[in-house]
Amino acid sequence: MPTSSPMHPGQLLVTEEQMAALVAEQFPRWKELPVRACPSDGTENALFRIGDDLVARLPLLGDDADAALRDIRREIDAAQRIAGATRVPTPRFAALGAPGPHYPLPWSVYHWIPGTTATAAGVQDSTAFAEDLAGFVLEVRALDTEGRTFRGRGRGGVLAAHDPYVAQGLDRSRELIDTDALARLWERLRGTPRTEPDTWTHGDLMPGNLLVDGDRLAGVIDVGQAGVADPALDLQPAWNHLGPTAREAFRVALGADDAAWDRGKGWAFAQAIGCLWYYRETNPVMSDLARTTLLALLEDEAA
C-alpha cells in the first residue's frame, strides 16, 4: 500500500516493499531489519521506520535529483549543528540514500527519537512545557551563524514578501473562517519592524514535531526547515499549540518584545492561511491545526 493518499499534485508514492528493497540494496547491514511506513501528519516527507532505531525520510515532491540532494545536504548540515547544542534530543544523521528503481530522488536516514508528540500529550496549558520550549528556541538561536543570513526561500525573511500567498489563502478560505478579520490582522502585522539580526531557527515548531515526557519537552524532531532567519519565526508554537497562560509564559521566558511578538504572529499566520484550504481534504489534521492557529491569533488580537 502507498504511504498515504496524495496531498500534492505529482506526489511521489513509495510502498513498504519498495522501501525495503531500497534499504537492502543500498545498506546491506540493515537488510534484515523490518521496514514499515510511519504514520505522520507531515506534508513534505514520507517516513519509514527501519528497525527500532532508525527512520528514513523521503521527499514527497520533486523531479530534480540534484536539487533534492542540495536540500537534503542542507538539512543534514542543520541537523549536525543543532544536535548536541540543546538540552533535549534532536535528529542525528545516520545515512544518505540514493535514487533507486522505484524512487527517483535521494533520501536520508536519521536515528529515531522516541516520545509522545505534543499533539497527543495535551500540554497546551503547561507553563513548564512552554518554558522548556522557550529554552530550546534560545539554545538554537545561540548557534553561530558564521555570517549566514536568510536564504531567501519560504518563511523567515520579510513578512510583506508573502502578500501574494496570503491573499490567495484568504481568497480560498472565505467559506472556512472570518477572512475579513484575518485580512485586517495581516495588514497590521505585515509591516512590523525588526532590528534583530538573523539567527538560527528550527523553522517548523509544529505540535507534531515536539516530543513530550509528562508535561516536559523531551525532544524536537524534523529539522527540514531549520536555517538562519528572523528569530521570531520560532514563536509559532505560541498560537499553533499553547493556550493563553502557557503562551504568556513562553513569551516571558523568551523576552519577546511587542515587535518580535507581532512578527511571530505574522509567521504563524503566513503558514496557517495556506494550510487551511490546501489540506482541507487531503490532510485534515494539518487543516484543523491551521484553523486553530488562525482563531488563536484572532482571539489574542482581540484580547
* Arithmetic mean of pLDDT over the chain: 94
Q: How confident is the model at residue 120 (pLDDT cuts 50, 70, 90)?
A: confident
Confidence of residue 6 (pLDDT cuts 50, 70, 90): confident
Beta carbons within 8 Å of 203's beta carbon, 6+ residues apart: 154, 155, 156, 225, 226, 227, 229, 233, 234
Structure confidence at residue 124 (pLDDT): 96
Q: What is d(CA 183, CA 185) in angstroms, rounded to the nearest whole number?
A: 5
Q: Which CATH class is domain 116-302?
A: alpha beta
Domain extents in the chain: 16-111, 116-302
Report the DSSP beta bridge partners of residue 95: 109
* Superfamily for the 16-111 domain: Phosphorylase Kinase; domain 1 (3.30.200.20)
The pTM of the full predicted model, rounded to 2 decimals, is: 0.93
Identity of the amino acid at 55: V
Per-residue pLDDT of 71-88, as tens digits, reads 999 999 999 999 989 999
Q: With a cut of 90, say whether residue 221 has pLDDT above it.
A: yes
Q: Which of 223, 234, 199, 205 is nearest to 78 (CA)?
A: 223
Looking at residue 5, what is its pLDDT? 66
Strand partners, 96: 108
The average pLDDT across 57-66 equals: 92
Rounded Cα distance between 84 and 63, Å, is 34
